[in-house]
Amino acid sequence: MTEDIWAGVRKRVLRLADHPGAGKIFGARGHGFRLGPVMEEEELRALEADLGVGLPVRYRSFLLCVGGGGAGPDYGLMTPVVGEGGWQWRGIGIAFPAQPTTAEFAGRPFVAEALQSELDSLGTREPKEDAFAADNAFRRAYTAWDARYEELSDAQEAGAVFLSEQGCGYASLLVMTGPHRGAIWEDLRPADRGIEPSGHDFADWYRRWLERTERQLDVIPPAQEHPDCS
């Protein structure tokens, strides 16, 4: 069963909070190795109704078996919560949250790759001041070019959730739609690298973080655990 990949994970995460070296782990000041409560099946169905598509399977089972958000890679995981405007992911219980994402926005088509190609092409056509006879003409051309660049850059976020803040403006996104659904992509736009695949799905990304953290703290994980949920 899919839930088996999360067997014992909640207990393993929570026990790290009491380890004497826990505060030295990158991002621990943001989440404190705390996890929010697990979510109910009815909540997930309501979230998926707002999203317009089913949640990625391994992320869905995480929400049911491990927690809605909190401790995780970098500064911790955003949490799905419902408000007056519908479902959105917010930084509940973490000190350095990524930007919130609405379910409606996350349910749109994820076309970051195609948009990056368009951005690359647009980048080669950036207006140069010496190509214009008048300053006003250059400013108008540059303003239009810059607005289009920002529009395309912002559109790359659609179809994904800002799941974890890495620091310095970088973030990890969970893709919700399309052929890359369930994969973690990295927002590297502060380094002018766009939004790029990490090469990991959600479960691999999260478990790698947990295993790496246990190694750093010399914590030996249990040899065998039963699933935390059925």
Q: Is 100 in the same domain as 171?
A: yes
**Inter-residue contact 36 to 79 (CB < 8 Å):** yes
Residue 126 lies in a domain: yes
The residue count of the chain comes to 230
- Are 28 and 96 contained in the same domain? yes
Residues 168 and 201 in one domain: yes
Same domain, 212 and 141: no
Output 61 or 153, whichever has higher pLDDT.
61
Please check the confidence at residue 67 and state whether its pLDDT lies above 90: yes
In this model, does residue 9 exceed pLDDT 70?
yes
pLDDT at 1 > cutoff 50: no
Which pLDDT does position 21 carry in this prediction? Answer: 93
Same domain, 66 and 98: yes
Total count of domains within the chain: 2
Give the burial string for 76-113 (b: 16+ CB within 10 Å, else e). Answer: bbbbbbeeeeebbbbbbbbebbbeebbbebbbbebebb
Tell me the per-residue pLDDT of 182-223, one tens digit each, with 9 for 90 and over: 999 999 988 877 889 999 999 999 999 999 999 999 998 876
Does residue 146 sit within a domain? yes
Same domain? 47 vs 10: yes
In a domain, 228, yes or no: no
| Greater model confidence, 111 or 209 | 209
Any idea what the CATH number is for the domain that residue 48 is in?
3.40.1580.10
Residue 23 and residue 67 share a domain: yes
Please indicate, yes or no, whether residues 14 and 29 belong to a single structural domain of this protein: yes
* Residues 141 and 93 placed together within one structural domain of the fold: no
Q: Which two tokens stand for residue 144?
A: 């239009």
**Spacing of C-alpha 135 from chain mean position:** 42
In a domain, 227, yes or no: no
In a domain, 221, yes or no: no
Q: Is 134 inside a domain boundary?
A: yes
| Same domain? 171 vs 148 | no
One-letter amino acid at 191 equals A
In a domain, 226, yes or no: no
Which pLDDT value is given to residue 229? Answer: 67
Q: Tell me which H or E stretch contains 207.
A: helix 202-216
d(CA 148, CA 180): 26
Kindly state whether residues 92 and 71 are assigned to the same domain.
yes
Domain that holds residue 133: 112-155
Contact 109, 100 (CB under 8 A): no
Average pLDDT (168-180) is 95
Task: Give the residue, 229 or 101, on which the prediction is more confident.
Answer: 101
**pLDDT score of 162:** 97
> What pLDDT, on the 0 to 100 scale, is given for residue 227?
55
The verdict on 91 and 175 lying in the same domain is: yes
Considering the chain, what is the average pLDDT of its residues?
A: 90
Quote the CA–CA distance of 202 and 181 in Å, as a whole number: 10
Reduced to 3 states, what is the DSSP secondary structure of residue 183? strand
